[in-house]
Amino acid sequence: MPLLYGFLLFFVGQALIWFQTNGQFIWPWFKKNPLIISILGGTIISYLFIKATAYVVEHFEGLLWPGRFIGFASGMIVFAICTWAFFGETINLKTGISLALATMLICVQLFWK
């Protein structure tokens, strides 16, 4: 169960980061108030990543590397989905291969014992 919680928190954190950094291109208020966005969002996002890391490390019996790869790969996946959904940027061959590699990173960490 800790792994599932870790995954969920990583994905939520990555989605919030996407909005925090790219919201300036969607909403004028974000563009005019980057300090407020960074202070408010940064605190919440940091907490989510701290908890996600704790859950994943617990699942992997103290190992840090699996959580790092899961956090990175989840960011790649969330970025691709949000960028397509909000900006219509499609996934070209290079991006598709990168996403496949990110998915493979997660699978290696989960299934390679």
pTM assigned to the model: 0.87
In angstroms, the CA 84 to CA 94 distance is: 15
- Taking a C-beta distance cutoff of 8 angstroms, is the pair 17, 63 a contact? no
pLDDT of residue 105: 84
The ranges assigned to domains in the chain are: 2-111
Compute the residue count for the chain: 113
> For residue range 44-85, what is the model confidence (pLDDT) as tens digits?
999 999 999 999 999 999 999 999 989 988 998 899 999 999
Using CA atoms, how far residue 43 sits from 38, 39, 40, in Å, is 8, 6, 6
Q: Quick one: what percent of the chain has pLDDT higher than 70?
A: 100
Looking at every residue in the chain, the average pLDDT score rounds to 94
